[in-house]
Amino acid sequence: MIKNNTINNQDGLTLVELLGSIVILSIIVVSFLAFFIQSAKTTKVSEDIIDASYIAQQELEAIYHLSTDQGVDQLVSYLQAQGYTHLRSGETHEFSIHIDTYRVDVKLYPVYHDSGDVIEDLHTLLVKVFDSENRQSAQMETKFFFNEVEVDEG
């Protein structure tokens, strides 16, 4: 009688085990891939908002700086000379200009007391920045006094 001395070796992987491992790894990789894609989108949106906020801040600071030694009329003339379109409605001045891929809208209007009287030389400056798809990306607002310049009529 001959004994069959076959060795039963179970060290390898079956096809089912191999496919199961690949499926599990694929699920994990796809989960992380979705995370990285969303992270990239969020980074892009944040970058656009930061750029728009920077533009709004630059415009706000430039106009504030001009207000320290110019009156409203001189500021309007200066902004028009810089390429801003200007629209006036009563005491309110509205300006618009394109900077890079953004549209910047600037609104300048006087501040009123509760009684309805204008507070002399105090104005509100509102800067809004819109992206190329006309969505508002940033907004900044401040109030400041104009140092009205006396014109010599010598």
- Residue 150 falls inside a structural domain: no
Residues 121 and 102 sit within 8 Å (Cβ to Cβ): no
- Residue 151 falls inside a structural domain: no
CA-to-CA distance for 118 and 133, rounded, in angstroms? 37
Q: Which domain holds residue 99?
A: 18-145
pLDDT tens-digit readout, 67-104: 888 888 888 999 999 999 999 999 999 999 999 899 99
Please give the tally of structural domains in the chain.
1
- Predicted confidence band at 110 (pLDDT cuts at 50, 70, 90)? very high
List all residues 6 or more positions away from 69 whose beta carbon is below 8 Å from its beta carbon. Answer: 147, 149
CA-to-CA distance for 3 and 60, rounded, in angstroms? 96
